[in-house]
Chains A and B, each alone.
Chain A
Amino acid sequence: MLYSILCYESEAARAARSQQEDDALMSRLAVVQQRLAAQGRLGPVARLMPTTAATTVMAGTRPVVLDGPFAETKEQLFGFYVVDCATLEEAIEVARELAREKPAGALEIRPIARFSPMSAT
């Protein structure tokens, strides 16, 4: 079974860390990742940019585009895509296509800060 593991933290707390502290945190996490990777059990790993860089596309036949993250708490995360786009406009177009097929909810576009595409075997 493949599992996804989603990382949560207070964004204000993350922003309060200095670059140095953040680098230290990332290298501690890298140790865990390397162990999993050596066992061939690690799939793609992504670090997302802060929600300030997010754009949200509301589901529906005529999708509305909003600045900022998807802020509702009643909806839950059901899945994600990683797409390669030259511009934000292109990413919004992809999200619009998906949004038109969805009866409700939203698609939040978050640029990826770091990506490791390794695939689990």
Chain B
Amino acid sequence: MTDLAWINTALTSSRAQVLGALLRYFRNLDTAEDAFQEACLRALKSWPLNGPPRDPAAWLIFVARNFAVDELRRRKKQEPLPPEDLVADSDDDTQAALAERLDASHYRDDILRLLFICCHPDLPVTQQIALALRIVSGLTVKEIARAFLVTESAMEQRITRAKSRIAAAEVAFDAPGAVERAARLAAVAAMIYLLFNEGYSASGGTVHVRVQLCEEAIRLARMLLRLFPAETEIMGLTALLLLQHARAAARLDAENNIVLLEDQDRRLWNRELIAEGSALVEKALRHQHPGPYQVQAAIAAVHAQAAAPADTDWAEIDRLYEILEALQPSPVVTLNRAVAIAKLRGPAQALSMIEPLAARLGGYFHFFGLKGALLMQLGRADEARAAFDHAIALADTAAEAAHIRLHLDRLVQDSAPRDGMRAS
């Protein structure tokens, strides 16, 4: 690997830890970001000449902290200065000594806090994700704008607004207690999941951009799991993302149309990601403390383990959805369970299961997609067409609409019943 590639990797992988520590010292995001930026510039100058430091994160924290302290002194700002021990002259500090002093117990709470401030409940979901990509992942505004299909200046504004909102919010800087830590972890897990979905659902941007979002979500999930290795739901989250991402190459065809799970070329599935995801599910489930991420991951693992669609263990999937319904009752979960029921007990049973959901899922694309597919299997063509029309009207993306049109075309072309419609 070239020097520059190595340095970039080191800067990316240290970013969350370094920013998290700087945020704890200075309690101000802008100060922390400026200092990190400066430290990166110095690293780019120094590392190629002097060789890489043994602990890049410690080096960056040391350099950034000194820079920020100097800046604060120089500007003589109104805001309170950092504690005395930080201001104390540290010229004699060697990098190794600093690494020793870095309080390892702060490390995971630093990163968790950094992620958590992006999850402020007042911020709309898209802003949470944009903020996390900017602050935690270090993507440029331009890259984020591309992912969300907005102009750079619009994204710049959004991020600035979101930042001033979180600056006004009170975030506790003390080490959190167990309850607070669990709450933060849950909020951060949800944000990572949404980030992944942003990349996974073909809502915009090129394939390359979407893959980048998914890979970044996986990187953050793994980072969180390294910090909290015994958290079963974080195991579940990481497993879920790995198992879904494993199918990325098979999910869209050359024309960017959605390929349903049962129509996917399973040779394109990434076996290594499936193996890792399955290992994590297994590890989580042996604690017998199931949560929504673990169960969803277990469902994804059952699909992934079937060599062909016909080998799918639908009874196991039905059983898992039943657990998920109990853990997290939602009409969408019932809708998904109906797919398993259709396989196990036929379309009529599944249809009677989803019909009561109509009131609550009246605006949900997949509801009408599944309803149309079940009606089609039952040979009720007119009603199926009406449901598909409804689905098209609700489609969020061109790919979703195109997929339903495919069903409609089939309906017109032949009346032969065809198998299911399901989120791929």
- Chain A: CB-nearest residue to B218: A15
Query: Among residues 1 to 54 in chain A, which have CB atoms less than 8 Å away from a CB atom of chain B?
Result: 10-13, 15-19, 21, 25, 49-54
Is A19 in contact with B215, judged by CB distance below 8 angstroms? Answer: yes
Write the nearest CB–CB distance from B380 to chain A, whole angstroms. 44
11 A–B contacts from the bound complex (CB under 8 Å):
A10-B10, A13-B10, A15-B222, A19-B211, A25-B1, A52-B222, A87-B282, A88-B282, A89-B286, A111-B276, A113-B275
Categorize the interface residue count of chain A.
20 to 34
A49 and B275 contacting across the interface, CB-CB below 8 Å:
yes
Per the bound structure, the CA–CA distance linking A118 and B230 in Å amounts to 35
Closest 7 CB pairs of A and B: A68-B229, A12-B13, A16-B13, A67-B230, A52-B225, A111-B279, A16-B12
User: Does A66 belong to the interface (CB within 8 Å)?
Assistant: yes
Give the nearest-CB partner of A68 in chain B.
Answer: B229
Please state if B13 and A13 are interface contacts (CB–CB under 8 Å): yes
Residues of B within 8 A of A55 (CB): 283
Instruction: Kindly state whether residue A114 has any CB partner on chain B within 8 Å.
Output: yes
Chain B residues with CB under 8 Å of chain A are 1, 5, 9-10, 12-14, 17, 211-212, 215, 218-219, 222-223, 225-226, 229-230, 235, 238, 272, 275-276, 279-280, 282-283, 286
Pick the residue among A15, A19, A67 that contacts B13 (CB under 8 A). A15
Docked-complex contact B13 and A66, CB < 8 angstroms: no
The answer to whether A67 and B219 have CB atoms under 8 Å apart is no
B272: nearest residue on chain A (CB-CB)? A113
Residue of A nearest to B224 (CB): A52
Complex alpha-carbon distance, A15 and B88, angstroms: 36
- In the complex, what's the smallest C-beta–C-beta distance from B104 to chain A, in angstroms? 10
Q: How far is the CA of A50 from the CA of B286 in the complex (A)?
A: 19
Is the beta-carbon distance between B219 and A16 smaller than 8 angstroms? yes
Within 8 Å CB of A12, what residues of B?
13-14, 17, 223, 226
Q: Which of A11, A16, A54 has the most CB of B within 10 A?
A: A16
A binding-site residues for B, Cβ under 8 Å: 10-13, 15-19, 21, 25, 49-55, 66-69, 87-89, 111, 113-114
Shortest Cβ distance from residue B208 to the other chain A in the assembled complex, whole angstroms? 10
Closest CB in chain B relative to A16 CB, distance in Å = 4
B279 touches A66 (CB 8 A): no
Given A52-B238, A89-B286, is A11 in contact with B226 using a C-beta cutoff of 8 Å?
yes
A89 neighbours in B (Cβ, 8 Å): 286
Task: Tell me the bound Cα distance from A55 to B17 in angstroms.
Answer: 24
**Separation in Å of the A25 CB from the closest CB of chain B?**
8
Evaluate contact between B283 and A10: CB separation under 8 angstroms: no
The residue of chain A having its C-beta at the shortest distance from the C-beta of B280 within the complex is A53
Contact at A50–B222, with CB atoms within 8 Å? yes
CA distance A53 to B238 in the complex (A): 10
Query: Known interface pairs A12-B13, A16-B219, A113-B272. Does A51 touch B226 (Cβ–Cβ under 8 Å)?
Result: yes
Cα–Cα distance between A10 and B53 once the two chains are bound (Å):
13
Q: Which residues of A contact B12 (CB under 8 A)?
A: 16
Cα distance A97–B215 in the bound complex, in angstroms: 38
Which residues of chain A are within 8 angstroms of B225 by Cβ–Cβ distance?
A: 52
Which of B5, B211, B219, B279 is the most central at the interface, judged by chain A CB atoms within 10 Å of its CB? B279
- Min CB distance, B25 to chain A, in Å? 21
A111 contacts B230, C-beta separation under 8 Å: no
Given contact pairs A12-B13, A113-B276, A67 touches B223 in the complex (Cβ within 8 A): no
A53 to B283, Cβ gap below 8 A? Answer: yes
Residue ID in chain A nearest B277 by CB atoms: A53
Residues of B within 8 A of A53 (CB): 276, 279-280, 283
Residues on B with beta carbons closer than 8 Å to the beta carbon of A54: 229
| Docked-complex contact A52 and B286, CB < 8 angstroms | no
Which residues on the A side are within 8 Å of B272 (C-beta)? 113-114
Query: B9 is contacted by which of A17, A49, A111 (Cβ under 8 Å)?
Result: A17
